Structure 1
Amino acid sequence: MGASEDLIDALVADLRQLRHDVGQPSFRELEIHARKVGNHLPASTASDAVRGRRLPKLTVVIAFVLACRHYAEEFKIPVPAKAREMYSWQEAHEKATLTLTAPLREDQVDALPRADHQPPRPHHGKHFWMPERQRCLYLLIGSGEVPGLGPILAPRDCKFMAAALQNTAPWMSVSMLINPTNQEAHKAVCHTLTERSELVVVHVVGHGFLNESARLSLPLRDSQEDNLLQTTLDLEGLLAQASHHSRERAVILIVDTGYAGSAIPQVPPGLEHWYVLAATGPRGHAYEWGGPAGRGSFTGVLAQLLQDGIPNCPYPMVTVIDLAQAAREIVLRRTSDYGINSQQVVTWSGSESIEALGLAYNRPT
């Protein structure tokens, strides 16, 4: 039996054990209790999930666990600790998923699927420069303290990024939230997106989580495992909000979390100029390497590139695509050095209306 079969069998066995521990509810009962907490879990799907024929989808695993938990709470059955550890279920599913795909070779990385709207490489004479003296907003949200998860270096790397922007893009109006609550984060995002500006950048750093609807969200300081839809920052909804308040401006979403590639949407209606930069592919983890001065995350890499400049850049300013490509090369090198699966690949997408969006002055070494 291979590693993938072992991990799938272990995950399925844990689901069967959880169902047993809460009193062996029928699959029909699980369907009903899943519906009570806002999930869709047909009885046949719940049955298939514990038969072990194949790896169940993550949404099925989460719906199954939450249904068992709700069933136990309603019938006054002691809730097993395993039913409260939603992050551990996601981690187990991720490990099983990764074993189903052979690690990519270096020459295979460029063949990874990209979003449909990949911006073309800038050509000399065709620029979309943002006016330096116009109002440009940059919102940094760093979530390093989340219940049930270990601390990460998000707050520190956000400070590095803010300092780099101050040196290379002094016209940017930078605001930073460190370990905010859900209400604080939503308020800051809404305020930023409704301000009059030529450019808006929303940059989030932290643990990524695929919630019950398989939408990428950012767990925050007050996030609740049994109410993730209401207590996490919906990253996939950010561009939809930006579209509503576009006012003919450019919007950039930078996502430095696990599963960051899941935040790359289809072109938002009404938003003409936009980019999404993601630290990883849709199934990749976001790692911290503990590099020089601690700049070991994707955000730290971006900050270092802005601070040091990008060699051989043909323009006086670093464009969004130049920054993404340079960061991708560094991340690939570091993940390779640490023997990490190449699913952690910086990826990006954007509107075809922008060929070269200047983000900051280039300071080549």
Structure 2
Amino acid sequence: MDPKQMVHMNQGQEETSYARNHSMQNAAQNRMKPLIEAAIVDVCSNTSTLSCGKVVIMDLGCSSGPNAVALVSITLEATHSHFLQLQQPPPEVCVLLNDLPYNDFNVVVKSLVPLRKMNEPVVVTGVVPGSFYERLFPGGSLHLICSSNILNWLSKAPRDLMMNQIPAYDIDEHVRRERLTVVAGAYARQFRKDFTLFLELRAKELVPKGRMVVSLAGRRSDELINESSHVWGTVAQILAIMASEGAIDKAKFDSFYIPVYGPSLEELREIIQEDGSFSVTEMQAHEPTSGMDYACLTLNMIANSLRAIYEPIIDQHFGSSGEVMDEFVRTAEKYLNLQGGSQVKQTKNPIVMLVVSLTKA
């Protein structure tokens, strides 16, 4: 399977679409707001960076639905507010949204219409399909890059696991625990390679002292790798139950590798420092549900959110079937209920949301 084809959220406006199941991702974007605002002020205050009187802002992995323009809307509001305080006219702003070609860009383009109608600043918009693991823009053309919840997606699943036919998640608990270090190491190496490439590419595209603010799911720095600290752990456990009950083929489950990884904060810092393309301005770690209304976190909402994110990749591996995904939601609700309501509501969930603000070195 080509990750460029399979990694996209559920399209459209249906009940199972990402557009209708985006609350948790929206909370992550809200946590980025203070860092984005600070980055915009920094960019707009640097006369050498803003020498042309224009600001170019890019959202990598915009997806679709209400969240598609959330980050760039924050940047536009921050730009307008900054120059209003200075009693100066704001610069012209170019807003670009990126995602893979299979993203639902019909919805994205409609979301851009209100931005173009703003009077100040003057806003020009556009979409750029393509993978963020390749060059997307001319050198030195961007001032600010934002991305939310996309850097967990790897360019591909760890090849050494696939070549040696080592399941990412073995149904046999004893075997799974014995292979945990091997599986975790393979995913960590792939992430290091991919994230280093990502930093090198974005550094080429940013202006001198350009800024980047990103968020991604990760694990606590003091948390040892275990089954639940994998970002894809919950999905794997749900599918493992389905395989053991015969709802999906066990052989196919054993060959299913979700190309997703969640680093620790220290792991992320180490990769950034080793690459040297950026300096760390600020790093934060948040509980996955901070800022959310817990009354909205029903088991069905969480299960449908997982479906909206992972259904395309599950369909492409196990075969497209609404019945399989309906069973996925039912199994997810039962599993989360047995876990005491929801893993995301535990006092110390091993999964955290990492927010990082960087300056081009």
**TM-score w.r.t. structure 1 length?**
0.26
TM-score with structure 2 setting the length: 0.26
Q: Which has the larger radius of gyration?
A: 1
Structure with more relative contact order (C-alpha pairs < 8 Å, separation 6 or more): 2
